[in-house]
Amino acid sequence: MRVYGAVVSTAHIPKLKYVPTKRLIALGVGITVAYSAICAGFLWDTARRDYENALVSATNLTKSIQSEIARNIELYDLSLQAVADGLQLPGFDRIDPALRQIILFDRAASARDLGSILVLNEQGDLTVESRTLSPRTQNYAGREYFQFYKNNASAGHYISGPFVTKKGEYILAITRRLNKPDGSFQGVVVGNMKLSYFHRLFNNMKLGPHDSLTLLRSNGVILMRSPFDIDTIGHSFGKSSFSEHILASQSGSVDAKSKLDGMDRLFVYHQVDNDPLHIVAGLAHETIYAEWRREVWVIGSLNLALCVVTMSLIVFLANALKRRTIAEHDRAIMATTDGLTSICNRQRFDELLENEWRRSQRTQTPIALIMIDADNFKAFNDKHGHQAGDAALASLAQCIAGGAMRAADLAARYGGEEFAVLLPGESVEGALIVAEKIRATVLTLRDQQQGRSDMSPTISVGVASMIPQAGLSSRDLVKSADAALYKAKQQGRNCCVTAAAVRLVHNANLAA
């Protein structure tokens, strides 16, 4: 603090209290992080739950389709088995062709989506056809199922890959081996199953816009897919980690990117009993997490808003607390500072005097006090007026505060035109030097008045120093310094007197 350009001692000013703004902001950040972590945990759990629900839903879907396909393949196989059994009847070759058709294919009428049933001999020639009494002349020995049965005597029904008929229909061949009485190869009975059955079955399933449903053979060939694309029928995945993962086990799930459209999906697969068919339901991650993403936007926006509000309130609280602390500090300064001279007031001086006295008592070090009084101030005030008197007191305070140079030194307005300077740890000799310096500064101030020496009064100074002992108090130090001041007044004013020897240090003759 400065008065008229000079440094004024601030030893009396209370310290500014620490404001825990960083702790408040850290608390706000902690609350924000904790709440965000809770929201993130909730959203993570929601995503996991949606994924598990999708997994259960896709598993149920594949099991339902697997059951439906297995039931129909069994029905088709029963029709083929009936044909095989009929061919083993005694004298079958001698039966009337029309009656033979009824015996062989009466059960086939109940098999929906089953095309023509063909009977092939051991050379692969077509011998019997369910839709006509006069079978075509055609050989099927090169077909995969025919070669399969020639080399597998104990095999059950066989499902071939897809192929296109002359009429443009996509079909699968479901076949059974025909054996002679001795167990040798007699031929093959072939049932043609239309792929339209799978197309209709898949269309009845409620899928998301980006979901897929696929029927695969064990060699990775696509038999049917929804969404339907004719170009994908017969397409092979080939050897890949995706196809090997799906085709290596009867059931399971895997997250992968589709090779057909590049979309990330959860693939749940299930084999159709022991047949070389696999149902693969692909639920797009976009579909699985659609609702979750909406929740993320809503909860994330609310969380962001709450975090902004929380941090704003914390910052506002921290700033308000800081302003309050500064205001309290300013009020504390005002309560301890003399309003006219801006140095320590009497109340604060008394508090610090007691504190320093006790400290000196503990350490057994001296404590000095300088009492200062403006000479003839009442007459000066009556002559020049109160405003000039106030200005003179402020100037004196400037000079006095300038003499108290150490951090522990304290200059105070003791009352009216009387001032005090507390010098902890100072001897009477050192205090006298400070007192003389203050008095000299006051005289210099008078010399700067350009001949108007009556515009600034001189001062009388009393100096005392004590080492606190038992039976003494701080009031004794004040009395001692006040007695020295009184002696200085008696000896003509404008001088410094010590309480120890009560000796005159300087006596300037104003008249001279």
pLDDT score recorded for residue 2: 27
Residues 348 and 457 placed together within one structural domain of the fold: yes
**Residue 497 DSSP SS3:** strand
Angle, CA of 243, 204 and 225, to the nearest 5°: 25
pLDDT score recorded for residue 13: 57
Residues 212 and 247 placed together within one structural domain of the fold: yes
Looking at the chain, the whole-number percentage of residues with pLDDT higher than 90 is 19
Decide if pLDDT at 475 tops 70.
Answer: yes
Please write down the HEC assignment for all residues of 171-228.
Answer: EEEEEEEEECCCCCEEEEEEEEEECHHHHHHHHCCCCCCCCEEEEEECCCEEEEEECC
For the stretch 197-208, pLDDT in tens is: 888 888 888 888
Higher-pLDDT residue of 93 and 129 is 129
Residues 473 and 357 placed together within one structural domain of the fold: yes
pLDDT score recorded for residue 477: 93
Q: How remote is the C-alpha of 457 from its chain's centroid?
A: 71
Residues 357 and 439 placed together within one structural domain of the fold: yes
**Highest mean pLDDT of the ranges 16-25, 82-91, 376-385:** 376-385
Higher-pLDDT residue of 452 and 482 is 482
Residues 440 and 365 placed together within one structural domain of the fold: yes
Confidence class of residue 420 from pLDDT cuts 50, 70 and 90? very high
Write the CA distances from 429 to 46, 466, 490, integer angstroms: 84, 12, 22
pLDDT score recorded for residue 108: 55
Q: What is the mean pLDDT of residues 281-289?
A: 88
Buried b (16+ CB within 10 A) or exposed e, 306-336: ebeebeeebeeebeeeeeebeeeeeebbeeb
Backbone angles phi, psi at 454, to 5 degrees: -75, -5
Is 151 contained in some domain?
no
Q: What is the mean pLDDT of residues 49-66?
A: 90
pLDDT score recorded for residue 158: 85
Q: What is the mean pLDDT of residues 463-472?
A: 91
> Do the beta carbons of residue 159 and residue 74 sit within 8 Å?
no
Confidence class of residue 14 from pLDDT cuts 50, 70 and 90? low
Last residue of a domain, one of 277, 302, 334: 334
Residues contacting residue 139 through CB under 8 Å, at least 6 positions apart: 123, 124, 125, 126
> Do the beta carbons of residue 178 and residue 88 sit within 8 Å?
no
Q: Which amino acid, residue 471?
A: G
pLDDT score recorded for residue 501: 41
**Is the full-model pTM beyond 0.85?**
no
Is 208 contained in some domain?
yes
Q: How many domains does the chain have?
A: 2
pLDDT score recorded for residue 386: 86
Residue among 36, 19, 27, 38 at smallest CA distance from 311: 27
3-state helix, strand, coil in the chain (%, to 5): 50, 20, 30
pLDDT score recorded for residue 100: 74
pLDDT score recorded for residue 313: 86
Decide if pLDDT at 5 tops 70.
Answer: no
The CATH code of the domain that includes 254 is 3.30.450.20
pLDDT score recorded for residue 452: 52
**Residue 310 DSSP SS3:** helix
pLDDT score recorded for residue 11: 52
Residue among 458, 345, 330 at smallest CA distance from 411: 345
Last residue of a domain, one of 287, 312, 334: 334
Q: What is the mean pLDDT of residues 219-237?
A: 81
Please write down the HEC assignment for all residues of 64-91.
Answer: HHHHHHHHHHHHHHHHHHHHHHHHCCCC
Confidence class of residue 32 from pLDDT cuts 50, 70 and 90? confident
Please write down the HEC assignment for all residues of 101-122.
Answer: HHHHHCHHHHCCCEEEEEEEEC
**Residue 511 DSSP SS3:** coil
Place of tokens 């995706």: 242
Q: Which amino acid, residue 78?
A: L
Tokens of 249: 């086990």
Is 491 contained in some domain?
yes
Is 303 contained in some domain?
yes
Residue among 212, 190, 216, 197 at smallest CA distance from 272: 216
The CATH code of the domain that includes 388 is 3.30.70.270
Residues 291 and 349 placed together within one structural domain of the fold: no
Residues 408 and 262 placed together within one structural domain of the fold: no
Residue among 242, 226, 292, 251 at smallest CA distance from 53: 292
> Do the beta carbons of residue 286 and residue 210 sit within 8 Å?
yes
pLDDT score recorded for residue 508: 39
Residues 214 and 318 placed together within one structural domain of the fold: yes
Residues 357 and 390 placed together within one structural domain of the fold: yes
Is 363 contained in some domain?
yes
Is 120 contained in some domain?
no
> Do the beta carbons of residue 157 and residue 174 sit within 8 Å?
yes
Q: Is 493 left (phi over 0), alpha (psi -120 to 50) or beta?
A: left
Buried b (16+ CB within 10 A) or exposed e, 408-431: ebbbbbbeebbbbbbbbbbbbeeb
Confidence class of residue 484 from pLDDT cuts 50, 70 and 90? very high
Residues 319 and 344 placed together within one structural domain of the fold: no
pLDDT score recorded for residue 29: 85
Mean pLDDT of the chain: 82
Is 444 contained in some domain?
yes
The CA distance from 458 to 436, in Å, is 12
The CA distance from 357 to 351, in Å, is 10
Residues 279 and 412 placed together within one structural domain of the fold: no
Is 155 contained in some domain?
no
Residues 321 and 359 placed together within one structural domain of the fold: no
Last residue of a domain, one of 279, 302, 334: 334
Decide if pLDDT at 230 tops 60.
Answer: yes
Write out the residue range of the structural domain in which residue 270 sits: 13-112+195-334
DSSP string computed for 439-479: HHHHHHHHHTTTT-GGGS--EEEEEEEE---TT--HHHHHH
E-only strand ranges, 344-433: 367-374, 410-415, 418-424
Decide if pLDDT at 449 tops 70.
Answer: no
For the stretch 362-416, pLDDT in tens is: 999 999 999 999 988 888 888 888 888 888 898 899 888 888 778 888 899 998 8
Helix count and strand count (H, E) for the chain: 12, 18
> Do the beta carbons of residue 11 and residue 409 sit within 8 Å?
yes
pLDDT score recorded for residue 419: 94
